[in-house]
Structure 1
């Protein structure tokens, strides 16, 4: 089985949870490009690099290489002997990750890391079905209303829903270039669907 399934979508649309469930149902790993972008962002934060300085970020990735380890249940990212995974979903990373992801050479670096991974897998992110794995047979794109996404993220963050919603809408604007559905992707609005219903639709699409 060498299938590649891509699940793209806007921030907080449920990509990671859905991808993990789909991967477990198919007994294959899932890979999260977002984990790598967030790990790069955390590295920038730890080393106090100017997030607008693409050259300095790339140099840091040379001297402090990051490794993505995919599993069906979750992904881990390590920097040497340091497990970055628990530090990836913080407000500091949330605020900086879009700026980091806009650097073309940083995106190229992330894409190279992902392309090194052996299929089969479920790949989730912003542009998996367009820039990274355009050859994938099964492509899906998740979206949801901003208030719904804010309510979901509020369960993981200390901020209030209104602040989270405003941040998500700003992130949507910043991610417009990177996050576009592939022409052959199936669009799924997850606003009024349960996690199980979204997973069921994707599995049905895969098996069709």
Structure 2
């Protein structure tokens, strides 16, 4: 009986001491979760700032600059009218009048098949690049399929072009380019031509004649 009476207090002391040792372990286990929460917060804030603030401001500024640089010019297309023509159908393309034209046959065929007259009543135009600051083009007569070169290329190109290849369905006037000597220059000069339907050729015209 004396032994049992001594064992009971000893067991109580051992159990109490074990309980005290386990409690600090629980506290230590909870600490990593607090640290994880603190580390995860900053990336969410950075991601929000970069998407909602910086990118839209950058895009809006570019759109504003593009709109400010658009310049319009008025030309006297009605001074050089072409005859009224009711377009019905297209003749078959004729590549026999110029050997150089045949080198661009794919571009010409595609434009002719998809297009309708857009210059001087009878002609469907096609324009494409030919190098830095250079464009060239052809026009196809829907009445007989004959192909003619537009007054474009190196001779009418310029490094600082405000606009190029301006024309109208009901006019024979063709503005090849509007040029500047430098980007800062306020003055412009023109390469302008009028299509002579009888001679089948473009003739140079002066600035005073096109405005």
TM over 0.5: no
TM bucket normalised to smaller: under 0.3
TM-score computed with the length of structure 2 as normaliser: 0.22
TM-score when normalising by structure 1: 0.22
Indicate the structure whose relative CO is greater, using CA pairs within 8 Å and at least 6 residues apart.
1
Structure holding more helix per residue = 1
Which has the larger Rg?
A: 2
